[in-house]
Every structure is written in structure tokens, then in C-alpha cells.
């Protein structure tokens, strides 16, 4: 098992060139399976994890999230990036304290959002958002500085699809110490390329919330360095369960069972994985 420091070195190096996919598992089983396929890094998903607990996105407490992150990091050999929502605090000092706790879970990286959770004022004022980014950066530096830090501009996700504002925020976050920039919700080639150009040479993460029509190679050609899936993989699973359960209830049929993963294949994978870990 690589050390946390080694995982962080690997994760930082992945952002230096090319483009890689960082899928988002929602529990230990999905994390270990994705790792077995050869993904070089993973990221948590606040939504996917919340769904496993019967909660909506953003309803998981800080301590629950910290325990989840610690579990993912302990269970995997590859770097894990934390979807740490808004840092579980409004004020910069609170963000710094919670980022310090997040770093202690063993994550290789983490992201902080600029959304407030208030539908009437969905984004922090830019000066407050920048102060929060600076506080997170200071906490990371105080802990050794090797945790990779992503700053997120949530404009397109909270009903403010303004590219100029998004870029203004991302550039401010880059100047405030973010290693990577992320504007979830941008979908067009024009917007993606504009964001990449605006924050260069710092790397950009692109969220793939569905099929945007771009391959990994096409994203790389646009300058994207990292592609994450957010809660999409978890929703793929939920979609299959919902479709199957509805068919049984409404039609009395079990046609969707034809697409299930074979029990023997899952059992074999998990048994072999357990043996590799000496359990």
C-alpha cells in the first residue's frame, strides 16, 4: 500500500500533462472495482455517498463525510480526491479548520465550492469566496502543502450561467492558491476552451454529468487535464434499479434482470481483491 505522501505525489504528477479520467465511486466496493480497471486516481462524490444513506445531496454532515473519505483512502491504493463541498463552513476560519481535518483523512486532493446553499443568494460574494480559498490554501500549506487543491466556480450549477463571471471567479481562485480549476456545468466546446485558456497554465477539471458528446481524446485536445464523473456513475446504478423496480411493480415483468452483473463474477472479484489485501 503506497503511503499518503506517495499518493499525493502521484496525483500531482497526473496533472502535469495529458488528460486523465477520475471516476467517482460512492462506496468501498465501487472504489475497489474502479481501481481494478486501472484508473490512476479516484474522487469521492458527495451526491453518490448521500444517496447511499437515503439523503439528498448536501445533507451529509462534516463528520460523516470525513469518515467516508477516510474509509475510501484506507480501502484503495490510488490517490483519492475529496469532493469536500463548501468546506462545511461559511467563514474562512471554519473552512480552514475543516480542510485540516479533511487532509488528515489521507486524501490526495480536495475541492472547495463557492456556492452558499441559499437559493436567494446562491454564490458567495467574490471577496468572501476568495478569502475562503486563501484560508483553504493556508491550511494545506500548514499541513505540508502536498495536498492538491481545486477551486470550484459553481455559477452554471446554481442558475448563474454567466461565462464571464465564471472565468473571473476561476482566475481569482487561481491567484488565491488553487492548483486546479473547475467550473461544473459548462458543456459546450466554446465554454470549455474559454475556461482552459483563461486559467492556463493551471489544469482544468471537466465534469462529465452525462454524455456531452466528447471523447477523452477530444477533451484533451481542448486542453482539459482531468475529467470527473461526479454523481453520474452512482445515478447510472440508481437508474437501473429504478427502471427494474418500476417494471416489476407496473408490469409484473423481470426483463431488466437480463442485464445484471453475474453474482459469481462479483463474488470472484471481491474475493480475489480481499486476498490481495491479505484479509
At 135 the pLDDT is 98
Residue 179 has pLDDT above 90, yes or no: yes
Per the CB < 8 A criterion, the answer to whether 103 and 67 are in contact is: no
Cis peptide before 201 (omega within 30 of 0): yes
Q: Which residues contact 76 (CB under 8 A, 6 or more apart)?
A: 31, 32, 35, 42
All structural domains of the chain with their residue ranges: 4-231
* Sign of the alpha-carbon dihedral angle for 139, 100, 49, 218: positive
Q: Give the Å distances, CA to CA, from 246 to 6, 243, 259.
A: 46, 5, 15
User: How far is residue 48's CA from residue 233's CA, in Å, rounded to a whole number?
Assistant: 8
Name the pairing type of β-strands 204-207 and 20-22.
Answer: unpaired
Mean pLDDT of the chain, nearest integer: 97
At 65 the pLDDT is 98
User: How far is residue 195's CA from residue 162's CA, in Å, rounded to a whole number?
Assistant: 12
The yes/no answer on whether domain 4-231 falls in CATH 3.20.20.60 is yes
Q: pLDDT by residue (tens digit) across 156-169?
A: 999 999 999 999 99
Confidence class for position 22, pLDDT limits 50, 70, 90: very high
At 68 the pLDDT is 98
The Cβ of residue 179 has, within 10 Å, a number of other Cβ atoms equal to 17
Amino acid at each position: 500500500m503506497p503511503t499518503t505522501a506517495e499518493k499525493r505525489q502521484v496525483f500531482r504528477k497526473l496533472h502535469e500533462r495529458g488528460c486523465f479520467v477520475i471516476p467517482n465511486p460512492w462506496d468501498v466496493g465501487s472504489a475497489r472495482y474502479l481501481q481494478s480497471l486501472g484508473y490512476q486516481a479516484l474522487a469521492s462524490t458527495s451526491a453518490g455517498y448521500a444517496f447511499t444513506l437515503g439523503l439528498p445531496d448536501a445533507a451529509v454532515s462534516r463528520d460523516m463525510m470525513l469518515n467516508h473519505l477516510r474509509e475510501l483512502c484506507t480501502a484503495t491504493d490510488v490517490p483519492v480526491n475529496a469532493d469536500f463541498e463548501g468546506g462545511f463552513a461559511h467563514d474562512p476560519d471554519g473552512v480552514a479548520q475543516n480542510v485540516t481535518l479533511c487532509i488528515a483523512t489521507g486524501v490526495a486532493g480536495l475541492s472547495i465550492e463557492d456556492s452558499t446553499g441559499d437559493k436567494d443568494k446562491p454564490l458567495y460574494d467574490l471577496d468572501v469566496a476568495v478569502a475562503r480559498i486563501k484560508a483553504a490554501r493556508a491550511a494545506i500549506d500548514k499541513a505540508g502543502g502536498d495536498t492538491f487543491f481545486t477551486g470550484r466556480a459553481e455559477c452554471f450549477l446554481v442558475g448563474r450561467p454567466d461565462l464571464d463571471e465564471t472565468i473571473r471567479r476561476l482566475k481569482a481562485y487561481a491567484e488565491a492558491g488553487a492548483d486546479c480549476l473547475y467550473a461544473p456545468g459548462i458543456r459546450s466546446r466554446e465554454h470549455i476552451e474559454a475556461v482552459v485558456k483563461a486559467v492556463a497554465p493551471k489544469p482544468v477539471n471537466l465534469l462529465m454529468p452525462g454524455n456531452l458528446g466528447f471523447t477523452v481524446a477530444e477533451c484533451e485536445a481542448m486542453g482539459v487535464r482531468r475529467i470527473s464523473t461526479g454523481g453520474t456513475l452512482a445515478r447510472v446504478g440508481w437508474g437501473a434499479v429504478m427502471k427494474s423496480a418500476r417494471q416489476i411493480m407496473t408490469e409484473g415483468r423481470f426483463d431488466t434482470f437480463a442485464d445484471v452483473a453475474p453474482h459469481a463474477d462479483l463474488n470472484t472479484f471481491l474475493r480475489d481483491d480481499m486476498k490481495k489485501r491479505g484479509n
